[in-house]
Amino acid sequence: MTITETRPEAAMPPPPAGPVPAATPEGWFATADHKRLGLLYLGAALLFLLVGGILGMVLRTELLSEGSGIAGDEYGRLFSMHVTVSTMLFLAPAWVGIASYVVPLQIGSGRLAFPRLHAFSFWLFLLGGGLLLTSYVVGPPRGLGLVSSVPTPAGKGGGDTATSLMIVSLALVAVAALLAAADLAVTVLKLRTPGLTLRRLPMLSWAILTSSLVTVLATPVFLAGLALFYMDQRFGGALFAAATLGSRSVWRHTLWLYGRPDVYLLLLPGLGAGCDIVATHARRPLVSPAAGRAAIVAFAFLSLGAWASGSGVGDAILLPTYSPLTALVVLPVGVLVLLWLATMAAGHRHLHTALLFVAGFVLLAAFGALNAAIAAAAKVDGTAWTTGHLHVVAFGAPTLLLLAAIVHWAPKLFGRELAPGAARIGFLGVFGGFFLMGLGSYLLGYDGAPSRTSDFDFSSDASTFSTLSTLGAVVLLLGLLAFVAEMIRAARSLAPPGPADPYQGLTLEWATSSPPPPHSFDSVPEVRSAHPLLDLRLAAEQGAPSAGGER
Amino acid sequence: MSDAPLALTTGGAERPQNVMPLGMALMVSSGTMLFGTLIAAYLRLRTAGGTWPPKGVVFDEYLGNMLVLTMLLSVLPVEWACHAQRRNLRSQAATALGVAIGFGVAFLNLLSYSAGRTDFDAASHPYGLIVTALCMMLGIAVAVGVGMVTLTLFRVAGRQLTVGTDHLRTTAWYWHFTVGASVAVWYTVVVLK
Amino acid sequence: MLNLVSKLLFTLSALGAVSAVAYGLAVDERSGVAIFLFLALAAAVAGAATCGSAVPDLAPVIPDDAPPPQRRASTVGAAPRGSIWPLVAAGALTALAVGAAIGPALVGVGAVAVVAATGGWFAKVWSEDPTWIPKVRERVSARLLVPVGLPVATFLLAAFIAISVSRLLLAISKDLAAVVAIVVGVTILSVCSWVAARPRLRPSVLASVGALAAVSILGAGIAGAVAGERNFEAHEGGEHGDGVVHLVAKETSFNEKQVTAVSGEKVHIEFENRDDVYHNFAVYKGEGSAAKPVFNGEGFSGEDERTYEFTAPPPGRYVFVCDFHANMTGEFVSVAG
């Protein structure tokens, strides 16, 4: 053993052992603990999901009946808010929550690099998100906002309060995302336990690292756009009201196009989580982790490329469905899915509920890809097809991976596994809901119904398809409610916490108790490969050191 | 990977060392994109057609040059402070930081004076808006920098930053970033027009 | 030495540079080139920061005869210490942002709050430094905190309450404002005396009372600022008293649906035309072809203001119109004096 240990603070008292002390409100408000911050992020994101879901249901209900209860403009604003809340206030921060909780554990660290900055980012996100909803109550904000590819000019005589509020609250949320991403990246880069090289990083940590770096580079583009949007609103609309080609492309390149990397970033952590979930339940390392890493990096590069691709296309920018560059995304996702299948085939075949959600993701993604292929032939972009596609690919698929991660890491997050029955009911609801919703909208699109309309001709099949879509939305909402209820039950359960390592895991987060103590680790296993816990088990079984694995 | 045996420090201090420079480097690259986007927007509007800058806009080049010179000069005291701190010369480091704060405040003062003197504002035309946005963002960045240098000065004066700490280096990186940003903005608005 | 991440970032930087050149050659447009170049620069900065000794990425060499892996004592120690200041700072920054959206008054409050929160956070960091020993603390507290900090803090608190409450008072009507002012004053006094009468109150109770008060005051201030100030200059149209009525024609409609006057007394109509077309003010008895004119004001184009004077007709209901726009109508009521 050539590892020489220098321990400067050997005199430090041993860390206190024992269960997590009872949570006090002050403790939650002043916390800098990565686990509590993770739970706060996750909880707040789910709260915002509820709001986004209610907005979505209002939209759906409107489509169900003939005639417009909510008129065109109002409908568009609701739609814009629904999209913004569902992505920026739910999916992205929910992944930050999972990452804040799990990534330090995966790298054998008891903390984040900048714990107080992380707490600051959470509170900023929460207040900014609240402000975004408030802007709708005050206002509502003018125009379609960020969903529109044409600028929202300031009204006559300057901007109104609601639109300005919307802009500043989005800026707060974006700054919070930027700070959290920078903190997570530094944590992974600097706080890894000795021996855990970058090549030995668990896949979730790797995906969080890459997506954080992309966030650090892409978010300021959005912030610059918001700054211009704000000044235009406050100072009489000199920029966007001009409606020249220049101002329009400034709008697209800064504000609207940000939606593209953002949409990809919603999926990127999920792909990493999927790798870890599959490997853990197959009880063997991922087949070719190098290919997995490369696929994740390729995905991250493509997300930035998609943002940049717009500048070449000039005015002819499409939604993120058709451009050749965005179609390339199928490749890395396909590689990862193949790796998952190969790993499952070579490993222990135990169908854990988390794997069910991953399988749901694969099916939903395949469903989306199939329809994209059909759509390439038929001209349906800009119709209800687009709405359906966005729900399936950009929202449904990442959400399934997020729920898979929650199920998988539930022993750490809540101290115990979710009850399989309840989690499976949740799965049926969420997967079935997204599938029905997507199917209805796709069929509507092939039928030629326009996107984002508050009303359409009820004489045709459209009515049936629309009802199908609405049915899907109801099923989805019920499934999500069942899932969240089970989460709350598990978190509040008074039963003794479960075992530290219920799955015979591979990576370091399973080396500490469930849930971990405030300082996260009493002891950290030596890391000599990408799967230190497997090495420990093998050493215990054979009484001999294991082969090094990948350096 | 290296074959050399390594001495691994398993005992991490309660606050890990060397995280701040890396965090600041990421923030700096983020800030680069922020100013890069605004400058790209400026160039896009510039080529969109029409006279640029619009008729009647008189831009005082002298003020612009003085602004960027002030920032360039401020690099010296900040580097001086880092140098002094490496040699544990506390009073020198504190003095240098004080001079840097002076430069920063002078820049902000000159910027607000220039803003008052221009015959256009954000409401006038796209040119006015994008120039105001660039200057405002620069002002915010420098104001944050002045705040950071002030806090660092407090800690230096309070004997809290010793030779091994990286606060001063981190602050210096941020400061140099604002200098770079002001040069980029100056080049875009004053030189390129 | 390059590690995996710095290689990744340098690759991204190179891709950015190549794209900039390719874009510059393909499309002669500087903004795209600029953004790709800045992407290259930003990725290079991040790449440079992650290579070398900044991010060590070395695995220890494990010789063949090494003992099997085992668990080691934690390298981490105690959990990081929390602080309330991140929450306070986030609240302050949010207040500043709301101010940016609503108005300058709240920007001032927000800026002061941001500075105060930064100071508090910094003080917390300062006090955690090893150099901060009780002796130093006593000295600083005696020389600085009590003589300077306390008055400043008191002043800031008073300013915060005054500005927030004044926003609320400006937004509501005159009578209500008096009531609210009295209620707020009495509440502050009674809460303070309640606290003063209980010297051994738990700090958590005190903190929650303080937080509740701060949130409600800030909320009232924001609500007031959003609602905007009530109109001080213009008296409500239709109010009879001194016989002066302020009437505005804007976007071919009157701002009042009803104007009331006292029969036999002089009526002063301060008529403001905010459109760039002709408007006037005229009063008729009856409608349609049977209408008899009572008063016809001289028409003028906006934006301008005239004052019409006439004696109010006998008690009864009349209509007032703009002679140029038939759809601009309202009710003129003359009441007995």
Q: What is the pLDDT of residues B116-156, one digit of tens each?
A: 777 777 667 778 888 889 999 999 999 999 999 999 888 88
Which of these ranges, A480-484, A523-527, C161-165, has the smallest mean pLDDT? C161-165
Checking if the pLDDT of B12 tops 70, the result is no
- Determine whether the interchain pair A168/C27 forms a contact, defined as Cβ–Cβ distance below 8 Å: no
Q: What is the pLDDT of residue A295?
A: 94
Checking if the pLDDT of B64 tops 80, the result is yes
Residue A415: phi, psi to the nearest 5?
90, -10
Search chain B and give the residue with CA nearest A523. B10
Checking if the pLDDT of A12 tops 50, the result is no
Provide the chain C residues 33-92 that lie in CB contact (below 8 A) with chain B: 34-35, 37-39, 41-43, 45-46, 48-50, 54-55, 57-61, 72, 75-78, 80
Which pLDDT band, with edges at 50, 70 and 90, does A356 fall under? very high
The β-bridge relationship of strands C304-311 and C266-273 is: antiparallel
Query: Higher model confidence: residue A430 or residue A79?
Result: A430
Search chain C and give the residue with CA nearest A13. C77
Checking if the pLDDT of B10 tops 80, the result is no
User: From the CA of B30, how many Å to the nearest CA of chain C?
Assistant: 7
For residue range A21-38, what is the model confidence (pLDDT) as tens digits?
A: 444 445 788 888 899 999
> What is the length of chain B?
193
Query: Higher model confidence: residue A339 or residue C261?
Result: A339
Search chain A and give the residue with CA nearest C27. A312
- Determine whether the interchain pair B25/C129 forms a contact, defined as Cβ–Cβ distance below 8 Å: no
Checking if the pLDDT of A321 tops 80, the result is no
Q: What is the pLDDT of residue A145?
A: 61
Count of pairs with CB atoms under 8 A, one residue in A, one in B: 143
- Neighbouring chains of B at 3+ CB pairs under 8 Å are A, C
Q: Which residues of B touch A7 (CB under 8 A)?
A: 9-11
**Average pLDDT over every residue of B96-108:** 89
**Average pLDDT over every residue of C113-134:** 85
Please name the member of A138, A165, A523 whose beta carbon is closest to the beta carbon of C73.
Answer: A523
Q: Which residues of A touch C89 (CB under 8 A)?
A: 120, 123
Helix (H) or strand (E) holding A186: helix A161-190
- Neighbouring chains of A at 3+ CB pairs under 8 Å are B, C
Q: Say if C155 is an interface residue toward chain B (CB within 8 Å).
A: no
Search chain C and give the residue with CA nearest B155. C126
User: From the CA of B151, how many Å to the nearest CA of chain A?
Assistant: 17
For residue range A292-318, what is the model confidence (pLDDT) as tens digits?
A: 999 999 988 887 766 555 433 333 333
Q: What is the pLDDT of residue B26?
A: 94
Structural tokens at position B152 = 């660092």
Which pLDDT band, with edges at 50, 70 and 90, does A41 fall under? very high
- CA-based nearest residue to C184, from C213, C225, C206: C213
User: From the CA of B59, how many Å to the nearest CA of chain C?
Assistant: 22
Please name the member of C43, C46, C61 whose beta carbon is closest to the beta carbon of B5.
Answer: C61
Q: Say if A308 is an interface residue toward chain C (CB within 8 Å).
A: yes
- Determine whether the interchain pair C78/B14 forms a contact, defined as Cβ–Cβ distance below 8 Å: yes
Please name the member of A8, A221, A238 whose beta carbon is closest to the beta carbon of B122.
Answer: A238
Which residues pair with residue A5 across a beta bridge? B8
Matching residue, tokens 């915060």: C160
CA distance A321 to A386: 8
Checking if the pLDDT of B174 tops 90, the result is yes
Q: Which residues of C touch B136 (CB under 8 A)?
A: none
- Determine whether the interchain pair C94/A124 forms a contact, defined as Cβ–Cβ distance below 8 Å: yes
- Determine whether the interchain pair B128/A238 forms a contact, defined as Cβ–Cβ distance below 8 Å: yes
Give the residue from B15, B29, B35, B44 with the most A CB atoms within 10 Å of its CB, the best one to mutate: B44
Which pLDDT band, with edges at 50, 70 and 90, does C3 fall under? confident
Say if CB C34 and CB B39 are below 8 A apart.
yes
Tally DSSP H helices, then E strands, for chain B. Answer: 5, 1
Give the residue from C2, C5, C13, C125 with the most A CB atoms within 10 Å of its CB, the best one to mutate: C5
Matching residue, tokens 């950009």: A394
- Determine whether the interchain pair A15/C32 forms a contact, defined as Cβ–Cβ distance below 8 Å: no
Q: What is the pLDDT of residue C10?
A: 94
Query: Higher model confidence: residue A278 or residue B86?
Result: A278
CA distance C138 to C155: 24
Which residues pair with residue C279 across a beta bridge? C300
Say if CB B28 and CB A186 are below 8 A apart.
no
User: From the CA of B27, how many Å to the nearest CA of chain C?
Assistant: 9
CA distance B54 to A156: 23
CA angle C273, C274, C277 (to 5 degrees): 75
Provide the chain A residues 181-200 that lie in CB contact (below 8 A) with chain C: 189-190, 193-195, 197-200
Structural tokens at position C17 = 């540079």
Q: Say if A170 is an interface residue toward chain C (CB within 8 Å).
A: no
- Determine whether the interchain pair A193/C75 forms a contact, defined as Cβ–Cβ distance below 8 Å: yes
Search chain B and give the residue with CA nearest C123. B151
CA distance C95 to C97: 5
CA distance A491 to A418: 9
Question: Of the spans B36-50, B97-111, B157-171, B173-187, which averages the highest pLDDT?
Answer: B173-187
Q: Cα–Cα distances in Å, from A314 out to A150, A221, A310, A546, C33?
A: 13, 18, 7, 57, 14
Checking if the pLDDT of A289 tops 80, the result is yes
- Determine whether the interchain pair C77/A108 forms a contact, defined as Cβ–Cβ distance below 8 Å: no
- Determine whether the interchain pair C26/A29 forms a contact, defined as Cβ–Cβ distance below 8 Å: no
Q: What is the pLDDT of residue A545?
A: 47
- Determine whether the interchain pair B121/A178 forms a contact, defined as Cβ–Cβ distance below 8 Å: no
Checking if the pLDDT of C79 tops 50, the result is yes
For residue range A364-397, what is the model confidence (pLDDT) as tens digits?
A: 989 888 887 777 666 665 567 777 777 888 888 9
Say if CB A520 and CB A110 are below 8 A apart.
yes
Helix (H, G, I), strand (E, B) or coil at A84: helix
- CA-based nearest residue to C45, from A204, A497, B176: B176
Query: Higher model confidence: residue A65 or residue A113?
Result: A113
Please name the member of C60, C82, C89 whose beta carbon is closest to the beta carbon of A2.
Answer: C60
Which pLDDT band, with edges at 50, 70 and 90, does C193 fall under? confident
Which residues pair with residue C110 across a beta bridge? none
Provide the chain A residues 78-137 that lie in CB contact (below 8 A) with chain C: 108-112, 115-117, 119-120, 122-124, 126-128, 131
The H-assigned helical ranges of A347-493 are 353-377, 384-389, 397-408, 410-414, 420-447, 462-492
Count of pairs with CB atoms under 8 A, one residue in A, one in C: 205
For residue range A159-215, what is the model confidence (pLDDT) as tens digits?
A: 677 888 888 999 999 999 999 999 999 999 988 888 888 999 999 999 999 999 999
For residue range C20-68, what is the model confidence (pLDDT) as tens digits?
A: 888 778 776 677 788 889 989 999 999 998 887 778 777 777 777 777 7
CA distance A485 to A491: 10
Say if CB A506 and CB A474 are below 8 A apart.
no
Structural tokens at position C239 = 């109010």
Matching residue, tokens 């430094």: C129
CA distance A204 to A306: 23
Q: What is the 3-state secondary structure (H, E, C) of chain C?
A: CCCHHHHHHHHHHHHHHHHHHHHHHHCCCHHHHHHHHHHHHHHHHHHHHHCHHHCCCCCCCCCCCCCCCCEEECCCCCCCCCCCHHHHHHHHHHHHHHHHHHCHHHHHHHHHHHHHHHHHHHHHHHHHCCCCCHHHHHHHHHHHHHHHHHHHHHHHHHHHHHHHHHHHHHHCCHHHHHHHHHHHHHHHHHHHHHHHHCCCCCHHHHHHHHHHHHHHHHHHHHHHHHHCCCCCCCCCCCCCCCCEEEEEECCCCECCCEEEEECCCEEEEEEEECCCCEECCEEEECCHHHCEEEEECCCEECCEEEEEEEECCCCEEEEEEECCEEEEEEEEEEECC
Q: Which residues of B touch A232 (CB under 8 A)?
A: 129
Which of these ranges, A59-68, A483-492, C325-334, has the smallest mean pLDDT? A59-68
Which pLDDT band, with edges at 50, 70 and 90, does C230 fall under? low
Which pLDDT band, with edges at 50, 70 and 90, does C157 fall under? confident
Q: Cα–Cα distances in Å, from B94 out to A411, B20, B155, B169, C130?
A: 51, 21, 9, 14, 20
Q: What is the pLDDT of residue A126?
A: 95
- Determine whether the interchain pair A231/B132 forms a contact, defined as Cβ–Cβ distance below 8 Å: yes
- Determine whether the interchain pair C39/B36 forms a contact, defined as Cβ–Cβ distance below 8 Å: yes
CA-atom Rg of chain A in angstroms: 24
Matching residue, tokens 């292929």: A373
Provide ipTM, 2 decimals: 0.89
Q: Which residues of B touch C38 (CB under 8 A)?
A: 32-33, 35-37, 39-40
Q: Say if A26 is an interface residue toward chain B (CB within 8 Å).
A: no
Q: Which residues of B touch C5 (CB under 8 A)?
A: none
Q: Which residues of A touch C128 (CB under 8 A)?
A: none
Which of these ranges, A75-84, A372-381, B85-94, C258-267, has the smallest mean pLDDT? A372-381
Give the residue from B29, B37, B191 with the most C CB atoms within 10 Å of its CB, the best one to mutate: B29
Search chain B and give the residue with CA nearest C33. B40
Checking if the pLDDT of A408 tops 90, the result is yes
Q: What is the pLDDT of residue A292?
A: 93
Mean model confidence pLDDT for chain C: 80
CA distance C276 to C293: 26
Query: Higher model confidence: residue C103 or residue C15?
Result: C15
Class of residue C19 by CB neighbours under 10 A (exposed 0-12, middle 13-18, buried 19+)? buried
Mean model confidence pLDDT for chain B: 82
CA distance A105 to A193: 10
**DSSP states along A473-506:** HHHHHHHHHHHHHHHHHHHH--SPP--S-TT--S
Mean model confidence pLDDT for chain A: 79
Helix (H, G, I), strand (E, B) or coil at A172: helix
Q: Which residues of C touch B26 (CB under 8 A)?
A: 46, 49
Which pLDDT band, with edges at 50, 70 and 90, does A279 fall under? very high
Structural tokens at position A111 = 């903390």
> How many CB atoms lie under 10 A from the CB of residue C255?
15
Search chain B and give the residue with CA nearest A185. B23
User: From the CA of A11, how many Å to the nearest CA of chain B?
Assistant: 11
